[in-house]
Structure 1
């Protein structure tokens, strides 16, 4: 079992705190109302209980990750389409 640290041994990382607060201030959040299926909500709530992160924050994380993945996939697809066009021009010539 872990012991609790002594309060006098703890230090405050003021620089890190300032950086984190600035990062949070830059991330503007907008509250919305969405309809979500019960299975997904249940899974998010279970993950929330397991991790200690509020489920609405998990929803935001999931959306960010999926959008980033989708952007990367679209970028790769665009690259492949350009390559196919280039190869077609070479084959036709």
Structure 2
């Protein structure tokens, strides 16, 4: 199931939406509008198995929240990793 970042011109929603299958029509999760625009998303640098559990105990969200609080645009959309101690 692909996840797209969208902006809805009808209600102003901007965020992520899950699509059941590639090629399925997009709709706004807030208002149900059928004119959402796909936004260009940054790809995730994470792939494969992680050496430590995600999110880690010192990780943070982009808005200063905990990753479990679903940051700016949705779960895991902009979580930051804590810098290693040196």
Fold match by TM threshold 0.5: no
Higher relative contact order (CA 8 A, sep 6+): 2
Higher strand proportion: 2
More helix by share: 1
> Which protein is bigger by CA-based radius of gyration?
1
Question: Normalising to structure 1: TM-score of the pair?
Answer: 0.25
TM-score, length-normalised on structure 2? 0.26
